[in-house]
Structure 1
Amino acid sequence: MVTCPAYEQPFALVVDDEPLILMDAVSILEDAGFQMLEAGRAAQALRLLGQHHDRVKLLFSDVNVPGDMDGFALAREVARRWPSITIVVASGQTKPGTGDLPDGATFISKPFSAQVVYHHVRKTMPEHTQPEPLKI
């Protein structure tokens, strides 16, 4: 398998306040070839994106995160401020309604498998920004 040097690998930001789900999502996306950033709240995610938005290619967020902004609001804000970032939102409790997700974002029901995540990321993320392991 061909791998990119770490400095060329795209970053993904995972936002979830449940440690086990966060670890699972991080592991799935690391296996897909991403370097990782993690946040437990939307406000923390926005701070990280403010610092690293030029390298982050994927936002993977839970809907139900603590704080003033849920995952849907986070997705809309990220799409508004950084439209080149691919957005995947997941939940086991809530389904998106009209206007919840920004154009081009994807919703995944929890629990999710690595194959489901890979499928949705491949489908929504421009091929030139995907890490090599996803192209196989």
Structure 2
Amino acid sequence: MSVLLVEDEWLIRTIMSEELVEAGFEVKSFETGDDAMSELSSDVPAFDVLVTDIHMPGQTDGIALAKSVRARYPDVPIIYTTGRPDALSRAHLPGGNVVTLVKPYKPSRLIEAIRHVLN
């Protein structure tokens, strides 16, 4: 199973990537939503689940990225991460299989959430 991880904080992205790989996932990680948009260019998703921070620099924040993923790949589960739960009012997506993790969270919680949405 593969994870598209989008997180602008280097330390969080690095730790979560390493923990996910140790848990048996393939991980593609990006610093911004703008960078991650390149993964949406094919007809078949190159990932099984999107994990995205909501607030990131650039034109494409996590909400815009999630909406693009949902429009292109309606069955791909999405996990939002945020240190600002007030942003969740803008994060609603049509369809299901959306989970939110509020920062700070442990890597084990992220792994549990990924396994949950993939089952």
- TM-score interval, smaller chain: 0.7 to 0.9
Asked whether the 8 Å contact 1:43–1:67 carries over to 2, the reply is yes
Residue number in structure 1 paired with 2:110: 117
- Asked if residue 94 in structure 1 is aligned to residue 85 in structure 2, the reply is yes
Measured after TM superposition, the shift of residue 60 of structure 1 is: 0.8
Q: Matches of 1:34 and 1:49 in 2, distance apart?
A: 19
Of the candidates 15, 19, 38, which is equivalent to residue 10 of structure 2? 19
Number of positions where the alignment pairs a residue of Structure 1 with one of Structure 2: 116
- Asked if residue 107 in structure 1 is aligned to residue 100 in structure 2, the reply is yes
The answer for unaligned runs of 5 or more in structure 2 is none
Match runs of 1:1-136 below 5 Å: 10-51=1-42, 53-95=44-86, 96-97=88-89, 100-102=91-93, 103-125=96-118, 127=119
Please report the RMSD computed on the Cα atoms of aligned residues, expressed in angstroms: 1.9
- Any idea what the Cα deviations from partners look like across 1:6-49, whole Å, max 9, x if unmatched? xxxx2211111111011012122212211111111112111023
Q: Percent identity?
A: 25
Pick closer, same or farther for the CA change 1:48–1:75 going to 2, 3 Å: same
- Any idea what the Cα deviations from partners look like across 1:99-125, whole Å, max 9, x if unmatched? 513232111001111221122112222
Q: Matches of 1:52 and 1:59 in 2, distance apart?
A: 16
Measured after TM superposition, the shift of residue 72 of structure 1 is: 1.4
Asked whether the 8 Å contact 1:57–1:84 carries over to 2, the reply is no
Q: TM-score, normalised by structure 2?
A: 0.85
Task: Select the structure of larger CA radius of gyration.
Answer: 1
